[in-house]
A and B are shown apart, each in its own frame.
Chain A
C-alpha cells in the first residue's frame, strides 16, 4: 500500500493485541479519511479490549504523527476511562451490598 507517497511495510503486524487489529487496517482507516485516535478507536475497536489501549494507543499515535506531519505530543489522546483494571461485577455488587448495609 502507498500512503502519501510512502510504501508502507509490515502491514500484518498486530498493533492492538486485545482486538487483533493489524497495522494495515489502521493505515487503511487513515487513508479513508479518519484523522484522530478517537475515530480510529471507534471504527476498528483498537483500544477497546481488556488492556484499554495501553500499547496500541501510542503505536496508532505514531502513525498519525508521521502521516499528518504533526509532533507526537500534538496527537489528541483518547479519554482514559475507569475502572483502569478489569474488575468483576460480583466484586462490585458485593461492595454495593457492604456500602448499603453500613448506611
Chain B
C-alpha cells in the first residue's frame, strides 16, 4: 500500500472489485481497494447470487440483462483461471395474486421490448418446468431460461485478480476510520494502517455506505437491513430453475453442486446492522418454502447465515458525488439486487470517471431524485 493513489475504493465486495477492474481496463490503474475483512466478507459473500432479467422497469431489466451477458463469460472477460459457477437454469416467478399476475404481463412487455426471452406459463406449464411444485393458490408464472445464479466468491475474486493483474492494489483486513476534505474536495482516507491521499474516493461499502458518507457530513438515505438465508446438504438434482415469489417473499434454487439455497424476506425487519441468525427464521423459512415445494421436506439444512441489504427509499442504487466533498462518490443502495447488476453498473461508473460515453444516464441514479421526485420505480423486488 502506497501513501497516495489516484483512486481509493472503499469496500471489497463485487461492486468495489468490479469498478476497480473496469477503471483499470480504461487506463486508470493507480487504484487501491480497501476492505476491512476479506474480499466478499460483506453482502456479496452472503448473498443468493441470483441473476434475473425478469424486471418490471426498463432500467433494471437493461442493467440485469447486460450484466448477464458479462456473467456468461466473466472468466474470459477478467482472465480468471477458476470457474465463476454461472448456472443458467432459469427463474420461475410465481404469481399468488391476480394483481401480481397482471403485473407480470406488463413486465413481460418491458422485457420483450429489450429482447429478453421470458414468457408466461399456466399452472400445467409451471409443472412442466418444476414437476414437483405445488401450484395451489397460484395464478400462473413467468419463466426466463437465461436467468440463473453464479458463485459470488469466484465472481468477485475474478474481478479482483483481473484488476490486480492490471496494477490495482488491494488491501484486505484494513478498515477506513476517517475521511478528510480540503477546499471542498476529498483529500485523504484514514485507515487503521495509515493515511492515504487520493483524488477520487469511491464509497462501495454496501450497508455501511451512509455511515461512511456521514464522515464527510453527507446525509444519504441508505439503510442496513438484515436478510437471512440458509443452505441444505447436497442432494440429487431435482430442480433447475430458481423458484421465486414476491407475494410470499421467498426464493429457492439448487446449485450445480446439489445444495439447495433459500431465503425469505421479512417485511417487518427493522433497520440495523444485526447480522445474526435466528431460529424463528429457520422455522418460518421451512414452513413457507415446503408449502410450495413439499418435496423439500426431507432436505436437511446444514447452515444458515445473514447479511445486510443496503436499502434505498426507491429500492434502487444511488450513484452520487458529495456536493461538499467533490471526488467522493457513493455507489450503494442496491436494495438486495446488487450482485446481478454489478457488472453493468461498474461499467457505467468507470465510463463516467474516464470521460467515456455511455448510453445510460448516470445522473438518474443521483440522490437528487429524492428531492425532485424522479424516482427509479420498480414493481418487482423481493
- Interface residues of chain A, those whose CB is within 8 Å of chain B, are 35-36, 38-39, 42-43, 45, 48-50, 52, 79, 81-83, 86-93, 95-97, 99
Contacts and interface: CB of A to CB of B under 8 A. Distances in A.
Contacts of A93: 283, 286-287, 290, 297
A28 B279 CA distance: 37
B380 interface: no
Contacts of B285: 92
A96 B287 contact: yes
A82 B279 contact: yes
B154 interface: yes
Contact of B302 (A36, A86, A96, A99): A86
Contacts of A52: 302-303
Nearest to B164: A33
B40 A42 contact: yes
A26 to B, nearest CB: 15
Nearest to B260: A89
A87 B300 contact: yes
B233 A49 contact: yes
Contacts of A97: 287
Nearest to A83: B301
Nearest to A100: B287
B284 interface: yes
B133 interface: no
Interface size classification for chain B: 35 or more
B292 to A, nearest CB: 12
Contacts of A42: 38, 40, 45, 153
A57 B257 CA distance: 21
B277 interface: yes
B77 interface: no
Q: Is the interface of B mostly helix, strand, loop or mixed?
A: mixed
Nearest to B299: A89
B304 A38 contact: no
B289 interface: yes
B170 to A, nearest CB: 10
Contact of A95 (B283, B297, B305): B283
Given A42-B40, A45-B257, A82-B279, A90 B305 contact: no
A96 B286 contact: yes
A36 B45 CA distance: 15
Contact of B284 (A79, A86, A87, A96): A96
B54 to A, nearest CB: 26
Contacts of B299: 88-89
A93 B281 CA distance: 11
Contact of A86 (B45, B282, B300): B300
A39 B154 CA distance: 11
List the 9 closest A-B pairs by CB distance, nearest first.
Answer: A90-B297, A92-B286, A86-B300, A96-B283, A96-B287, A42-B153, A93-B286, A89-B286, A93-B287
A86 B301 contact: yes
A84 to B, nearest CB: 10
5 contacts: A43-B153, A89-B286, A89-B296, A92-B285, A96-B287
Contacts of B286: 89-93, 95-96
Interface in B264-289: 277, 279, 282-287, 289
A97 to B, nearest CB: 7
Given A81-B277, A81-B305, A92 B283 contact: yes
B250 interface: no
B41 interface: yes
Contacts of B298: 88-90
B305 A89 contact: no
Interface string B33-44: 000011111000
Contact of A48 (B41, B154, B303): B303
A87 B153 CA distance: 26
Given A43-B153, A82-B277, A83-B282, A49 B302 contact: yes
A43 B303 contact: no
B190 to A, nearest CB: 24
B157 interface: yes
A88 B300 contact: yes
B308 to A, nearest CB: 15
B283 A88 contact: no
Contacts of B304: 81-83
Given A96-B287, A99-B283, A36 B38 contact: yes
Contacts of A92: 282-283, 285-287, 301
Interface string B246-268: 00000000000100000000000
